[in-house]
Amino acid sequence: MTTLTTARGRPFALVWLSLILVPLAVVTATVTRLHKRHLSTLAADWSARGDRAYRAGLAGDAVDDFRSALVYARDDRAVRLKLARALVAAGRRAEARGYLLTLWEDEPGNGPVNLELGRVAARDGNVAEATRYYHAAIEGAWDSQAEQRRRESRLELVDYLVSAGDTARARPELIALSADIPEDVALRKTIASLLARVGQTASAQAAYEQILTAAPNDPEALSGAGEAAFRSGEYAAAARYLTRAIARGESSPDVRRDAATAQLVVDIDPAQRRLGSAARATRASRAFEAASARVTACLALHPESDDLHTLSSRVAGIAARAQQRSLNAHPDDLETVMETVFDVEMGTARTCGEPAGIDRALYLIARSRAAHQ
């Protein structure tokens, strides 16, 4: 039996088979490519829906959308990270931690993954673990804007530590953060505020004053510098800054109260520099009148207090010597009068609470004086 052949001797059946298989392979490849493209499109669509839901605060919907996206793109690490963030926002931290740890095992130096793990630990109240992950984010790899992302991560860590009351850990982080600050007024204000919150009032005041060199009328920087000065006991500077802040639109009741108190301290303290003996006598006599009224009012509320009775007796015993005319004639009595005033303000504050007005000013002077003795 004779086999059909082509002109070059190749079997005719093989030629026909190749003519069939080659187009079939092309079709298969095309279909596969189109299918993959379709899956990619579906994943992108679901991921975009998740992004919109997340931005709108619909964390539960975002979780469902990102899960749907992963059905079509199981290995997409970016979507897995988005899903973890949505789970955290939905309060499902245990699930989020599982996704994040899987991502972390593949890339332990990934900045965004470590940042999210730090946030989860922070929400769980695990300060040590949160700090460790935040540090890994600060030192980790970022796809873009690495320096800015690391700075933001450290800033977030500091804010968390301050909120958690762990100022001991927060202070060195703030020092590191303050070492290289860009010319960003908002960031500088945030750092100055954090310095004040951890008790670094002198550094906070200096930070606000640096802002004021470029923006001398910034009400937020003025009030921040004023409050820092107030906490440091620099009442003259506090009065200047806070008064300027109010003039520039600052309306906070605390700022207004502290501005008034700081000015009262400046106006009532007999120990202010460059005061003559007559002015000192006038201030001491006024302070004594305020303290006398304070102890009388406090004793009326707490007649059972032996300490208040003792203070009231001291006040009565030096009342004549505390008159302005007497103090002008006997300036050496001024120290005795002011010691009584300060003891009254401290004692009544313990029993009747921190005072207001001129008594608050005298109480702050007394407290500052006690701290320096």
Hey, which residues does 141 pair with through a beta bridge?
A: 110
Looking at the predicted structure, is the pLDDT value of residue 159 above 80?
yes
Helices (H), the chain: 12-55, 59-72, 77-89, 93-106, 111-123, 127-139, 146-163, 167-178, 185-197, 201-214, 219-231, 235-247, 253-268, 277-301, 306-318, 324-329, 334-352, 357-371
Tokens 């750092």, located at residue: 191
Q: Are the C-beta atoms of residues 89 and 112 closer than 8 Å to each other? A: no
Q: What's the whole-number mean pLDDT along residues 155-161?
A: 93
Looking at the predicted structure, is the pLDDT value of residue 147 above 80?
yes
Among 1-15, 54-68, 183-197, name the one with the lowest average pLDDT: 1-15
Share of the chain above pLDDT 90, in %: 61
Q: What's the whole-number mean pLDDT along residues 79-100?
A: 89
Looking at the predicted structure, is the pLDDT value of residue 114 above 90?
yes
pLDDT band at 54 (very low <50, low <70, confident <90, very high): confident
In terms of average pLDDT, the best of 23-32, 47-56, 271-280, 343-352 is 343-352
pTM score of the predicted model: 0.73
- DSSP secondary structure of 137-162: HHHSB-SS-HHHHHHHHHHHHHHHHH
Q: Are the C-beta atoms of residues 264 and 283 closer than 8 Å to each other? A: no
Helix (H, G, I), strand (E, B) or coil at 6: coil
Nearest-angstrom CA–CA distance, 20 and 28:
13
Q: What's the whole-number mean pLDDT along residues 10-16?
A: 54
Per-residue pLDDT at 65 = 85
Per-residue pLDDT at 46 = 76
pLDDT band at 36 (very low <50, low <70, confident <90, very high): low
Looking at the predicted structure, is the pLDDT value of residue 109 above 80?
yes
Q: What's the whole-number mean pLDDT along residues 182-200?
A: 88
pLDDT band at 63 (very low <50, low <70, confident <90, very high): confident
Per-residue pLDDT at 33 = 60
Q: What's the whole-number mean pLDDT along residues 213-237?
A: 94
Per-residue pLDDT at 280 = 95
Among 3-12, 180-189, 191-200, name the one with the lowest average pLDDT: 3-12
H or E element, residue 206: helix 201-214
Looking at the predicted structure, is the pLDDT value of residue 141 above 50?
yes
Domains of the chain: 201-266 (1.25.40.10), 277-371 (no CATH)
Q: Which residue has the higher pLDDT, 63 or 321?
A: 321
Per-residue pLDDT at 108 = 93
Looking at the predicted structure, is the pLDDT value of residue 238 above 90?
yes
Hey, which residues does 110 pair with through a beta bridge?
A: 141
Per-residue pLDDT at 4 = 46
Mean pLDDT across the chain? 87
Per-residue pLDDT at 11 = 59
Q: What's the whole-number mean pLDDT along residues 267-274?
A: 91
Among 35-49, 87-101, 145-159, 356-370, name the one with the lowest average pLDDT: 35-49
Per-residue pLDDT at 320 = 95
Nearest-angstrom CA–CA distance, 23 and 15:
13
Per-residue pLDDT at 199 = 87
Q: What's the whole-number mean pLDDT along residues 168-194?
A: 86
Per-residue pLDDT at 2 = 47
Looking at the predicted structure, is the pLDDT value of residue 146 above 60?
yes
Per-residue pLDDT at 30 = 56
Looking at the predicted structure, is the pLDDT value of residue 241 above 50?
yes
Q: Which pLDDT tens digit goes with each residue over 299-357?
A: 999 999 999 999 999 999 999 999 999 999 999 999 999 999 999 999 999 999 999 99
Q: Are the C-beta atoms of residues 269 and 292 closer than 8 Å to each other? A: no
